[in-house]
Amino acid sequence: MPRLFSAPSQWTTILQWTLDVPQASQLGEVWVDVWRHPELRGVWSQGLLEQGVDDRQEPDRTTWNWSAKTEIYRGATLGVGSEAVECASWVEPTEVGYRFCFAVPMTPLSAGMPEAKRATLEAWMETFAVLSETHPGTIWRGVQSTLWQHRTEFSLDPRAWTEGTEQTQALRSCLTFSEALCPAMDGLTVDLPSGLQTAQAVFERYGACIYDGQRQHLNPIFEDSSYFGRNFNAFWDCLRCVYPNVLTHLRVNHHGVTQVTPDERVMYLGVLLDLAAELRMKGLGTLEVVFHPSMRDVVEQDLLQLEKQRVWRAFEFWGPDDIA
């Protein structure tokens, strides 16, 4: 069984073809025609795999939702010795429609593929130009050698991402903005004052509120303490341990912007997102996340960044042995 070139380091220089697609209703048809190519031997949806769902079925052409325009699909194509050339497709939003992109990584090919065969690969990529004939209104933009990090997603105007909230929806569904930062009616409350200087101060505040003097003996990690982690991984472990033995409902009041770095703010929201998703899936309890209205712009910007990270996270961290 061939192994795919999945290490992120392999996706530097890529060979890419591009097709301009004016209407969202055409994208499903184009996708199906691309991945029905007889030399494409498999397709995996990155976005769905991140949620633990393996989607190897063709999409429904009439109801497929393209609001998450940046989902990446991967598969295997032309054989190179005992290996296989991996390929990927994705959709980028443009001002007047969409751009359907398909690429293979050239870094591993340059080491193991003769020049003549690389020319054959380029010619094979050009055969997809027929898509512009079978899908009226689409425009073939040709094959080019480019860099993976030059994909449009890395420089999109943030407004182009506003439609895509699927990856962060679990957190958004339990998030509100309110000037009335009152205690939870039923459950425990964590109050985060404005001006906290470090992520560690945030962790400690969680510990002080959840494991106060009456509940320290319930701490499953360090009994008789208010320990709540020294890094974000430990913070996540501590947070998920409180359900359902310590509480079944948690309200987190954010009174103002903390002084942690923007990256740490996004990591913090990522932990809350994972908790919200796990609670929804397992039914262990509920989470209520409340921000003061003065924080709305910062929170929306951080959620936007988190959305982008989660869309690509599965691709960047998919190891070479995950698919044979």
User: Could you tell me the domains of the chain?
Assistant: 9-162 (3.30.310), 166-311 (no CATH)
Residue with tokens 């499953």: 220
- β pairing state of 13-21 and 83-93: unpaired
* Nearest-angstrom CA–CA distance, 324 and 321: 6
* Nearest-angstrom CA–CA distance, 206 and 287: 14
pLDDT in tens, the chain (324 residues): 334 445 556 677 888 999 998 887 788 888 888 877 777 766 554 433 222 233 333 334 334 333 333 456 666 565 555 556 677 787 776 777 788 889 888 766 666 666 666 777 788 889 999 999 999 999 999 999 888 767 654 444 444 444 457 778 899 999 999 998 999 888 999 999 988 989 999 999 999 999 988 899 999 888 889 999 999 999 999 999 999 989 999 999 999 877 888 889 999 999 999 999 999 999 999 999 999 999 999 998 898 878 766 754 433 433 333 333
Q: Order the strands of the 83-93 sheet from edge to edge.
A: 44-45, 73-80, 83-93, 98-105, 13-21, 139-147
